[in-house]
Structure 1
Amino acid sequence: MIEFAPLNVPLRRRLQTAAVLQWVFSFLALAQCCLAAFILLALSDWWMLALLYAGWLLLDWDTPTSGGRRSAWVRSWTVWEYFRDYYPLRLIKTVNLDPKKNYIFGFHPHGVLVAGAFGNFCTEATGFSLLFPGLKSHLLMLPFWFRVPVFRDYIMCGGLVSSCKSSLSHLVSRPQGGNVAVIAVGGAPEALDARPGALTLRVMNRKGFIKLALKHGAQLVPVFSFGENELFDQMQNPTGSPLRTLQNQLQSIMGIAMPLFHARGVFQYSFGLMPYRKPIITVVGRPIPVVQTTSPSNEDIECLHEVYCQSLTELFEQNKNTCGLQEHQHLTFI
């Protein structure tokens, strides 16, 4: 039985739905549309425009690994306020951060579409610049997406940059500080486990960001986004199942996850690709002091990784009750 949305939905809620719809479209299909439009332009009588853009693309090729190209105007669009209010989305600060230092925010969990990371760190809808004055947030994204014409320029406006090692190093080695690199530590594999109630994080074998934090002396900050996994349901894909095996193979080939998710629609609540209206509360923890070590040993990395996992656990335990979870719910690291 399909449950349709009532006709008398307030305009404010319709605008919220429209804001999230365009975001879902941007995440799932905008890159393909941009690529198709570029190819059609190149094959048309306007091919010279495509050629000029291709020249610009070559000149600008390294920008996604060199801090990107943020736009305060794009980050402050009114549409992001409606996006925030749809869930709603909140950003909570536990301590002040020194703008003279660089930080690596470890974002957990990845979720299906990292809605909390985007809303909090790629827009100003939740007031990042007001909560953390002097700091610029950059969300790391797979390098693949920065090869798509036009789409790359759009996502860089929000502060998205490449997730390659050189990109992260560029951000956290800024001498005057002020940069925040946000990493969804669990990555694409964790997206395949994102479903309501899931509290399993892929972190035990994720140590590359720990090594770079030591190498550049960047402060590590655990971030937990309560409600991130509640936005979508996902087809059952336990480890070893045919579906999970296929998803793992596709991920190894393309580098991106292919979760088969579903939630609600635009005009009905029974099925679709729109996220559920579930609150997301993203809590930024205390920074972990990191002493710069130019050539960190395996022991240095393991020690800091252990401290990071402990800090992440403490952040979760201290905030879970106020964020709607039960006392018996705990994190599991794999």
Structure 2
Amino acid sequence: MKVEFAPLNIPFARRLQTAAVLQWVFSFLLLAQCCVGIFIMLVLTRFWLFVSLYVLWLYLDWETPQAGGRRVQWVRNWSVWRFFKDYFPIKLVKTADLDPQYNYLLGFHPHGVLVAGAFSNFCTNYTGFSELFPGLTPYLHILPFWFRCPFFREYAMSVGLVSASKKSVNYVLSKENGGSAAVIVIGGAEESLDAHPGNLTLHILKRKGFIKIAMKRGAHLVPIFSFGENELYHQVSNPKGSWLREIQERMQKIMGFAMPLFHARGVFQYNFGVVPYRMPIHTVVGRPIPVTQVSNPTEEDIEALHKRYLSALQELFEENKEKYGIPEHKSLIFT
């Protein structure tokens, strides 16, 4: 295989965009492990007193990721996120107003490999969420595991990430005066194993917990489809029933998160590496589905609202697929 190197005369702005994406990939894949390593090293040095104070802080602050987090606007406004957004580029598309007097549960689809669209749109201030949906504050929910990592948890919360636990989602959706938007990647880690270019498989048929929470809190449901999310990486072939898929699924059950074997391009060449391809991402926010608060919804209530949500998601996809390069004959596959 002939290696295709990047030309030397690439504009400086594009180099900055690549650097911004590379640091994000590093943060996603290795920063938590590095933070744990630094924490252990500090314990063994003269800085043990600092570590002791931090451990006390962790004890006192342990529930914060489940209580709305601790976002820092300065971090969300870092210029690096503008270059990150421009690399692909990523665009947030509005189809309807969201009245800030209500709380909303936004279902994000598909997961993709590294959920780049969800991060850029809801954890930075560069795709215009505040301008498109004034009065709403987005909270992107991720696996609780990440908030057990010392130091990394502070960084994660600073951009607006919060725990995906039931307690956390309930907290966000319990704001009496509305204005909160809980963003949940519905397909979760399992769906990332199907994040192949052109694949439209969504793991959603058995996922009804978010429906129950929305009903209990009276939070309106909003489907989101991020066109281009699955095009950023290639994965090693892992069809259902293959030995690789079985290993990945077993590891997911043990560790709580999936490990897709993915690849794309490098920093100085285009043939291999972990830097995603420059593919546009259009994250389309659908119309809200009004939800009446029900303290104890029945299985029939949950099933009926789940079907309405699936229908709205399908409709959102069909209305926009041709705009963003999806062939007319292709449709979503719910599993």
**Aligned equivalent of 1:308:** 309
Distance 1:116 1:99 in 2: 23
> Displacement, 1:71?
1.1
1:252 partner amino acid = K
> Displacement, 1:61?
0.1
Distance 1:238 1:314 in 2: 27
Query: Aligned runs of 1:1-334 on 2, under 5 Å?
Result: 1-334=2-335
Distance 1:56 1:143 in 2: 18
> Displacement, 1:118?
0.3
Q: Which moved more, 1:234-243 or 1:295-304?
A: 234-243
Distance 1:150 1:98 in 2: 36
Moved over 4 A (4+): none
Distance 1:245 1:198 in 2: 19
1:289 partner amino acid = P
> Displacement, 1:229?
0.1
Distance 2:73 2:287 in 1: 26
> Displacement, 1:125?
1.1
> Displacement, 1:327?
0.8
Distance 1:244 1:325 in 2: 26
1:219 partner amino acid = H
> Displacement, 1:323?
1.1
- SS of the equivalent of 2:322 reads coil
Q: Which deviations, in whole Å up to 9, do the C-alpha atoms of 1:117-159 show, x marking residues without a partner?
A: 0000011110111111111101000000000001000010111
> Displacement, 1:13?
0.2
Distance 1:196 1:261 in 2: 11
2:13 partner amino acid = R
Q: Which deviations, in whole Å up to 9, do the C-alpha atoms of 1:9-64 show, x marking residues without a partner?
A: 11000000000000000000000000100110011011000000000011000000
1:137 partner amino acid = P
Distance 1:171 1:226 in 2: 27
Distance 1:201 1:264 in 2: 26
> Displacement, 1:191?
0.1
- SS of the equivalent of 1:321 reads helix
> Displacement, 1:198?
0.5
Q: Which deviations, in whole Å up to 9, do the C-alpha atoms of 1:65-97 show, x marking residues without a partner?
A: 000011111111111110000000000011111
Distance 1:196 1:306 in 2: 27
Q: Which deviations, in whole Å up to 9, do the C-alpha atoms of 1:172-225 show, x marking residues without a partner?
A: 111011111100000000000001000010010010000000000000000000
When the two structures are aligned, how many residues end up with a matched partner?
Answer: 334
Distance 2:328 2:11 in 1: 36
Structure 1 residue runs without a partner (length 5+):
none
Distance 1:322 1:244 in 2: 33
Aligned-pair identity in percent equals 63
- SS of the equivalent of 2:259 reads coil
- SS of the equivalent of 1:181 reads strand
Distance 2:311 2:73 in 1: 35
